[in-house]
Amino acid sequence: MAGAAHVLSRYATALHELAARAGAVDRVGADLQALARALAAQPELCRGLASPRLSREDKRALLTALLGGAHDLLRRTLMLLVDKGRAAQVPGLAAAFEEVALEAAGRAVARVTSAAPLDEPTRAGLLAQLQRVTGKGIVLQESVDPALLGGTRILVGSRMIDGSVQARLAALHTRLMAAPLPAAD
């Protein structure tokens, strides 16, 4: 999967560079978000794009029908993905493009998972601290996972900051297991 993400990142980077030259970054981004929403609303379309039983021509037709009046750069990029046998990755292109666009603007996405929803003072403090640490403007994407019990798990790019209770307990366990025991008398 990491290889697929790397390939998708390369396509998103190329699409962003072409869109920037054409002055169409916002338009391409909006068209990609619309496509992502359409695919999320109809999971059978994603399955069709991933299916080896559906021909490339059928996949191209499916995407063409979904694209409507989308920007030509997006249309050509998606058709290239299909032609290269990477149609299953089309649903992930919007997120990859958004990350590339944010990076180009000196911003980054921080995916924050917490045991409970963050209150406003906590959110503001976390945002300020992440901006200070990364030197970038931060866009928070929050999710709640009650299994964390407490604390937060933050992913900024490929950097993971795990302040969850589980991580702290695991670190404590490791330290306790590594501690030498006193000699018996």
The pTM of the full predicted model, rounded to 2 decimals, is 0.69
Q: Does 96 lie in the same domain as 22? A: yes
Domain boundary residue, one of 57, 77, 101: 101
Q: Name the residue range of residue 16's domain.
A: 2-101
For residues 74 and 26, is the Cβ–Cβ distance under 8 A?
no
Q: Does 30 lie in the same domain as 7? A: yes
Query: pLDDT tens across 49-67, in order?
Result: 999 999 999 999 999 998 8
The enclosing domain of 91 has a CATH number of 1.10.520
SS3 content of the chain, % helix, strand, coil (to 5): 65, 15, 20
Q: Does 18 lie in the same domain as 60? A: yes
**Alpha-carbon gap, residue 154 to 167, rounded angstroms:** 12
**Alpha-carbon gap, residue 182 to 169, rounded angstroms:** 23
The enclosing domain of 170 has a CATH number of 3.40.30
Query: pLDDT tens across 132-145, in order?
Result: 988 888 988 899 99
